[in-house]
Amino acid sequence: MSVVWTDTVKEIAGTKMHVSRAGSGRTVLVLHHDIGTVDRLPFYDALAEKYDVLVPHHPGWGKSERPQWLRHPRDIAAMHTWLLTEMGAKDVSLVGLGFGGWIAAEMASQSPTTFHRLVLVGAMGIKPPEGDIADQAIVSYIDYPRSGFHNQDNFAAVYGDISIDQLEQWDICREMSFRTAWKPYMYSQTLPHLLGGVRTPALVIWGDDDRIVPISAGKAYVSALRNATMTTVAQCGHFAEMEKPAEVAKLVTDFISA
């Protein structure tokens, strides 16, 4: 059964946000990585076979407009919550990927009973007790995404011959990452203290070779949340849903539908 995606634009906080949507059933909001998202991924299709999947572009990323006043992932979280309200979505499950995981955690901290399930994949947002989150400022536009894959063949499978358009997009994504997450870099000093109130069951998924966010941060998320478990994915880097789409999709769907 093939999945049909439709694209719409919603005005949220004075900003035109791009949203891709497919599937039916329970609503799942996917929050993409700091490097943006390609239009279609096997992982998104797998989720859309079972759920009504929303993949917005964060404000300032991809096809969404940039609000000049935006300063923090908590602002992005508020805009996504507003988007869900605008779309009349209820009982939503959040799937936060990397930087999107930080946004998902912020959303959950502000709405501790609203969401059905919370999935965090290689999530930024908490200072790793061991190691540091890799600094994208120091490496090139190609080396940073590469470093998020355990096997470079999987990077090539997603990105192929990297176009100039893709390079431009990565620079824009990096600029937005700087605008919203420069210092402290890619984490909040306060978020871990606020996750204890979240009632939503949470699943934390981490690639065993995540060289961007140390796995100690995943363990910190599990400690901070009151109802969370952790699973690692073997032979897998930071961009777990792109490197191991079938495996990660199964973990997510088993968890959401449980």
Binding site for other proteins (CB under 8 A): 137-142, 162, 164, 167-168, 170-172, 174-175, 177-179, 182-183
**258, 238 contact by CB (below 8 A):** no
Whichever of 153 and 161 has its CB closer to other proteins, that residue is 161
Report the C-alpha gap between 41 and 114 in whole angstroms: 27
**121, 98 contact by CB (below 8 A):** yes
Q: How far is the CB of 172 from other proteins (least distance, A)?
A: 8
Q: How far is the CB of 183 from other proteins (least distance, A)?
A: 6
Whichever of 176 and 213 has its CB closer to other proteins, that residue is 176
Report the C-alpha gap between 257 and 252 in whole angstroms: 8
The conformation of residue 65, written as its DSSP 8-state character, comes to: P
Q: How far is the CB of 242 from other proteins (least distance, A)?
A: 20
**95, 71 contact by CB (below 8 A):** no
Q: How far is the CB of 174 from other proteins (least distance, A)?
A: 4
Q: How far is the CB of 167 from other proteins (least distance, A)?
A: 4
For the record, the structure tokens of 61 come out as 């990323």
Whichever of 34 and 209 has its CB closer to other proteins, that residue is 34
Report the C-alpha gap between 258 and 248 in whole angstroms: 15
Whichever of 91 and 135 has its CB closer to other proteins, that residue is 135
Whichever of 76 and 236 has its CB closer to other proteins, that residue is 76
**4, 49 contact by CB (below 8 A):** no
Whichever of 174 and 219 has its CB closer to other proteins, that residue is 174
Whichever of 178 and 231 has its CB closer to other proteins, that residue is 178
Torsion of CA 82, 88, 89, 90, to 10 degrees: 110
DSSP string, 150-205: SSHHHHHHHH-SPPHHHHHHHHHHHHHHHHHHTTTTTB-SSHHHHGGG--S-EEEE
User: Which strands make up the sheet holding 202-207, listed edge to edge?
Assistant: 6-12, 15-22, 52-56, 27-31, 93-97, 118-121, 202-207, 228-233
Q: How far is the CB of 164 from other proteins (least distance, A)?
A: 6
Q: How far is the CB of 168 from other proteins (least distance, A)?
A: 6
